[in-house]
Structure 1
């Protein structure tokens, strides 16, 4: 009996050891060029952040981890590999994220939307661009024109809503064709398409490269948009601590972006080829989108809107239960483990803050509505200015000294988003103070109301210097 008991104990101990010593796969699908997914993929991978948080105690005491990364240019193929069981996590936007949930359901499985990575409650981040020489100044000028868009993307949903807001029939009043961003860039340069709608970062990247001009920003649709992370539900139930570890790595990546946006904008450029100046538009203070991580009601709404749009496109026969598809328990636990207050973040709608002094006057900047910034070539940090007038004056001095400028930024008067100033329109008020706008029509309305004038970037600079 004693021998049998001893053998039984040895067998149980051996079985327990085999369970504890097994290898756990952590397979993550990323979208590197979709730069507002950086805190859910690229930065975690490049900085080795996941390894810092993976558990090695309790049932994970003797576990080893097989960390796998795979990069995609859009959400649809990433979803295909998740449904096929080849990936455990994936980062994507609200629209393809909703499709992810639908695809899992169709396969008799379930996925969970576990956190937000970056977003804008008004919709900024998606946009529509036209060739640089186009006469179109707004979406209203595109009736009867060909607009390309990556199908089943968050930009596709934005385009359909924008067309509907014009009172147009999407099948008759515009010609919407499927086109990936890498193809659209060449088509815009060759004037083979009249407009292109796309997601982050292409609405800013193509204008920054000088061959396109942005004429519509997603914020005009006033429809929330975001990118976030999903996980296979069965994986999350089996390894909840691994899911929390991934989210803690995401939290640290977000903190690093906040602390040193220029440095990590450069890293993103090194990996993706997307210029640091464009990355800074999103990840710098007062950026196009907020790096939020919390499930604000507006982002939950965005998933619901995406599901409704999928039904409209006949890509989904039924909806998803948002209360079970969106699961915030893991991000709440990750916040707690990182010593952060999730509920405080849930209530915080502020843009990434700017704490800086005016580079020209040295005075603290307290009014962020008219902030302008200059990134001088060779300088590791962006210079901040309290007003466009001060920035234009500094820009003239920099050029006089023979210094090259990587980018000039201005905050939009109406939406508050960061703009490439070279693409913006400026309007003066009765006292000559300049405000920036994405569209000429917006600037004209403001100038008319304020008794001022409208200027393009070059003329605004000349006006500011003349008035200095």
Structure 2
């Protein structure tokens, strides 16, 4: 209660002293809160800021209105401190994950001067695969059940925390069966690698960053919960009302940045990697064609439904109060942005950036996202594609070039994986181009073996040799 009083006091002080969203009589300051390390918000953060698209639109708007606009970019490590800044009247537009978004909406409901609303989506995954559980490479754990009594690091109140709870329930357990350690992602990553935690349950890009670095392996994919997860844009409702043209310009800039990323995924990944320090191979796993993140600003019904499913979990933690999603979610701006195309766009959940092109080894054209694979050879500016994971292995084996990174979709779920970290299965009864199949975790591969006699599990090196 004391914290709430302090925050409200800060909000009142900020309103009286600085009038967030405005400067002198001819200057409007727009405060943007973003998370540079969260790569599925780059279209309203890191990449948008670097391209200067928003500032350019405000410059045009200012010329037409005789007003000067100034953009203040404020970088946050996670959603909670961004929400605190919004409560204090220091951020007008911000982006964060689904759980923090709900907390943001709940915490601002009772304060008319800083009440927020969800106005657009940045990136999403309908299966929930942006949240995952990883363990050290040498861990004996193969399922969540093996974590009973063990220390698990997660961000309390995050979607990853909710994913862990749902996953444990499916395994016949509860959060009480593990020793939960509430930590921010980088702290949790250190806890995992130093042996202080047996597992890390986190959101993009932390799990796969550790996998790529060879410090962890995937134990559980959040897609197993089949509950969508996303990041979104929230805006101060009063700022919306005072400066609707600024909000419209921001979303127009987001749309242009999104279109650029989807049309130039590798180029965009390189830029994001350069700006954030996150390995480009990890960024491209998420933000590349057929990647784990689908970038689309439109507000889709399954995503709102997912927020409704997450809300009770957060209420149970005491993290949120009542929140009417019908009032909180406002698609007015993004609907205007897309015009007559909006309903079609918002209903479309297919990958906006698709992997395609000719297969140089197996022949034919890459089309099916369930099997489309990709390799990036060292020293090359572009990647090469393959119709199936087996064709990809054949292409790698026949090439004299060193592999920088290769990606394959899991045979059962389509989850985009690092080929070198996948669990491979050889099925001699399948067609030649489909004989080698990648899976995300060993239990998934074991299930396939149970229904396909004669199949066997291979490591990556053996899979290359068996092509």
Q: Calculate the TM-score normalised by the size of structure 1.
A: 0.90
- Cα distance 1:443–1:63, how it changes in 2: closer, same or farther (>3 A)? same
Other-structure match for 1:116? 121
Other-structure match for 1:438? 440
| CA displacement at 1:50 relative to structure 2 | 0.3
2:297 and 2:410 map into 1 onto residues whose CA distance is 24
Runs of 4+ in 1 over 4 A off after TM superposition: 18-21, 55-60
2:23 and 2:223 map into 1 onto residues whose CA distance is 51
Other-structure match for 2:3? none
- Cα distance 1:57–1:285, how it changes in 2: closer, same or farther (>3 A)? closer
* Contact 1:115-1:331 at 8 Å conserved across structures: yes
- Which structure 2 segments of 5+ residues have no match? 1-21
Which has the higher mean CA deviation after the structures are superposed, 53-62 or 120-129? 53-62
* Contact 1:20-1:60 at 8 Å conserved across structures: no
- Cα distance 1:56–1:394, how it changes in 2: closer, same or farther (>3 A)? closer
Q: How does 1:145-294 map to 2 (within 5 A)?
A: 145-171=150-176, 173-294=177-298
| CA displacement at 1:426 relative to structure 2 | 1.9
Other-structure match for 2:387? 386
Other-structure match for 1:320? 323
Q: How does 1:49-198 map to 2 (within 5 A)?
A: 49-54=53-58, 56=60, 61-108=65-112, 109-171=114-176, 173-198=177-202
1:185 and 1:177 map into 2 onto residues whose CA distance is 12
* Contact 2:355-2:372 at 8 Å conserved across structures: no
Query: Deviations for 1:211-231, whole angstroms, at most 9, x for unmatched residues?
Result: 011111110011110001100
| CA displacement at 1:152 relative to structure 2 | 2.2
2:99 and 2:369 map into 1 onto residues whose CA distance is 32
| CA displacement at 1:58 relative to structure 2 | 9.2
1:358 and 1:440 map into 2 onto residues whose CA distance is 29
Q: Does 1:363 align with 2:361?
A: no
| CA displacement at 1:57 relative to structure 2 | 5.3
Equivalent of 1:424, from 422, 425, 429?
422
| CA displacement at 1:125 relative to structure 2 | 0.7
* Contact 1:375-1:382 at 8 Å conserved across structures: yes
Other-structure match for 1:335? 338
1:323 and 1:440 map into 2 onto residues whose CA distance is 42
1:328 and 1:153 map into 2 onto residues whose CA distance is 24
Tell me, what secondary structure is at the counterpart of 1:306?
Answer: helix
Other-structure match for 1:13? none
- Cα distance 1:193–1:57, how it changes in 2: closer, same or farther (>3 A)? closer
Other-structure match for 2:14? none
1:128 and 1:39 map into 2 onto residues whose CA distance is 26
Equivalent of 1:409, from 407, 410, 434?
407
1:240 and 1:120 map into 2 onto residues whose CA distance is 29
Other-structure match for 1:353? 354
2:171 and 2:196 map into 1 onto residues whose CA distance is 24
2:167 and 2:307 map into 1 onto residues whose CA distance is 17
Cα root mean square deviation, aligned: 2.0
Q: Calculate the TM-score normalised by the size of structure 2.
A: 0.90
- Cα distance 1:385–1:214, how it changes in 2: closer, same or farther (>3 A)? same
Tell me, what secondary structure is at the counterpart of 2:294?
Answer: coil
1:49 and 1:461 map into 2 onto residues whose CA distance is 45
1:81 and 1:60 map into 2 onto residues whose CA distance is 31
- Which structure 1 segments of 5+ residues have no match? 1-17
Other-structure match for 1:450? 452
- Cα distance 1:250–1:21, how it changes in 2: closer, same or farther (>3 A)? same
The structure whose Rg is larger is 1
Tell me, what secondary structure is at the counterpart of 1:315?
Answer: coil
Tell me, what secondary structure is at the counterpart of 2:175?
Answer: coil
Which has the higher mean CA deviation after the structures are superposed, 199-208 or 102-111? 102-111
Query: Deviations for 1:120-166, whole angstroms, at most 9, x for unmatched residues?
Result: 11111110010111111221211111100012222112112222222
Equivalent of 2:311, from 289, 294, 307?
307
2:58 and 2:24 map into 1 onto residues whose CA distance is 14
2:62 and 2:53 map into 1 onto residues whose CA distance is 21
* Contact 2:390-2:437 at 8 Å conserved across structures: no
Which has the higher mean CA deviation after the structures are superposed, 289-298 or 222-231? 289-298
* Contact 2:29-2:71 at 8 Å conserved across structures: yes
1:434 and 1:371 map into 2 onto residues whose CA distance is 13
| CA displacement at 1:22 relative to structure 2 | 2.1
Q: Does 1:375 align with 2:373?
A: no
Query: Deviations for 1:90-129, whole angstroms, at most 9, x for unmatched residues?
Result: 1101100000011112445420111111111111111001
Other-structure match for 1:344? 344
